[in-house]
Amino acid sequence: MILTVTLNLALDVTYVVGDVDWNGMNRVGSAHRRAGGKGVNVARVLTSLGHEVLATGLAGGRTGDAVLADLALAGVTADFTPIAAESRTTLVVSEAGASGSRRNALFNEPGPVVAEDDLARFTRHFAGLLRDADAVVISGSLPPGTPPDFYAGLAAMAAERGVPAIVDADGAPLRHALSGRPAIIKPNADELARAASGEAPPRTASRPRSADADGSANTHGSANTERGADADRSAFADRAQALRSAGAESVVVSLGARGALAVTPGGSWRARMPREITGNPTGAGDALVAGLALGLVEATPWPDRLRRATALGAAAVAAPLAGDVDPDVYLALHPAIGIEPVS
């Protein structure tokens, strides 16, 4: 079983609205509600692929209940630690009006303030669940009140029990996690740069608008020239090696439309996308992580592991909702993704 951890569980709400009046009253055409949070998305992808998975984390209040009910509906096995505070909601206002304006505004609540006792209860629960876990995926932001080295502690507990851990986080939680000796960390280009420099994540990050799901590799102007791409690749590899030296066994850098880079004990590989996939990049990184987790438990060689993970990430871009993958896109893309060793 693959165990996924989502400490900052979310109810993801999407409002589809016509031409939005940003200083006025808007009637919502349709409202969708769905279980969210990065670990939950990973669990959805693994469940849809028929793999045994258990989603855990913290769930509180009526919002937490709504998320758990939606997970049950989706057939995702879940065993969350109940907390007193209310789980958060995230909202996307998606414009679909006659004017052709297609803005998407995302609003992320910070999440419940978690009590020390909640974390202690979760840690005990996590220790029990590790017994049946072949791998553990630790994803997403920490809710307020959680110490920044919390993921490091979870990864170390897993490592002690011989369970490989994947950590997909940002900023201080990711930097601290290295001391827990995770099997894989999966930053995007921006997260990699921040982890290497010690810089904090921005308070308001621009939302990715293309298949470059996992951050902003294409905000590097130099990426458009081969020379620039080589320079970037070299910088990514150097930073990834630095994070390996700091404790991660392997580092996979997701580069959105430009593929991914894996830096591992057995070598480094670059995955190249045969074409750009357009769609909803939210959740693409989570699908890629699901692919890495499958590769871990099946002990797939790294080139194949990277190809499958990258194909799953792209197939998630083609599916409208985070946590879903488009099987046709997966089947078409998977054999066409080029894997080349990086020296």
Q: Output 209 or 275, the one with its CB closest to a copy of itself.
A: 209
**In Å, how far from its chain's centre is CA 162?**
23
Number of residues that bind a copy of itself (CB under 8 A): 35
Rounded Cα distance between 142 and 275, Å, is 34
Q: Which of 1, 91, 157, 231 binds a copy of itself (CB under 8 A)?
A: 91
Part in contact with a copy of itself (CB under 8 A); list of ranges 107-115, 221-229, 292-300, 326-334: 107-115
CA Rg value for the chain: 19
Render the burial of 293-316: b for 16+ CB within 10 Å, e for the rest: bbbbbeebebbebbbbbbbbbbbb
Residues numbered 51-70 forming contacts with a copy of itself, rule: CB under 8 A: 62-63, 65-66
Q: Counting contacts by CB under 8 A, is residue 15 touching a copy of itself?
A: yes
Q: Which of 75, 100, 131, 204 binds a copy of itself (CB under 8 A)?
A: 204
Q: Output 8 or 47, the one with its CB closest to a copy of itself.
A: 8
Residues numbered 25-54 forming contacts with a copy of itself, rule: CB under 8 A: 25-28, 31
Q: Counting contacts by CB under 8 A, is residue 98 touching a copy of itself?
A: no
Q: Counting contacts by CB under 8 A, is residue 210 touching a copy of itself?
A: no
Q: Output 20 or 294, the one with its CB closest to a copy of itself.
A: 20
CB of 185 to a copy of itself, least distance (A): 22
Q: Output 4 or 63, the one with its CB closest to a copy of itself.
A: 63
Q: Counting contacts by CB under 8 A, is residue 105 touching a copy of itself?
A: yes
Q: Counting contacts by CB under 8 A, is residue 89 touching a copy of itself?
A: yes
Q: Output 206 or 343, the one with its CB closest to a copy of itself.
A: 206
Token pair 């020379």 in the structure block, residue: 227
Q: Give kind and range of the element (H or E) at residue 91.
A: strand 88-95
Q: What are the tokens at 290?
A: 């699901």
Contact (CB, 8 A) for 294 and 51: yes
Q: Output 202 or 267, the one with its CB closest to a copy of itself.
A: 202
Rounded Cα distance between 208 and 303, Å, is 27
DSSP 110-171: --PPPPHHHHHHHHHHHHHHHTT-SEEEEESPPPTT--TTHHHHHHHHHHHTT--EEEE--H
Q: Give kind and range of the element (H or E) at residue 81.
A: strand 81-83
Which positions touch a copy of itself (CB under 8 A)?
Answer: 13, 15, 17-18, 20-28, 31, 62-63, 65-66, 89, 91, 93, 103-110, 203-207, 209
